[in-house]
Structure 1
Amino acid sequence: MSYEFRVVPHSMLPGKQAVECWRDGKFVAGIYPHQDGIRIISKYMTDVSKEA
């Protein structure tokens, strides 16, 4: 199993960057800046509390 992290331009925030996590050539998660810190998105995350 191979993992790769890519730093890419954020698609909706000009001048900001995001990090993509790829596993075996498939996108599995994204990490990007948010007003309160960072936000992590992935359809593979479970049992995660969400903001109210």
Structure 2
Amino acid sequence: MYKRLIDADNNTVAIRREVDDAFIPPDPENVDFRAFEQWVAEGNQPEVVSL
């Protein structure tokens, strides 16, 4: 459902939501990012993609 896009230093650059190809910034003020964090808190793991 999600992919975590990371840079060479393992920093999260963005989250990609696969259902609609949305790119979500790693910003705790962002509603979509908070939904992603809740999804992870429920025990899910995103695929990690190195850029």
Q: Determine which structure has greater relative contact order: mean sequence separation of CA pairs < 8 Å that are 6+ residues apart, divided by chain length.
A: 2
Larger radius of gyration: 1
Q: What TM-score do you get using the length of structure 2 for normalisation?
A: 0.37
Higher strand share: 1
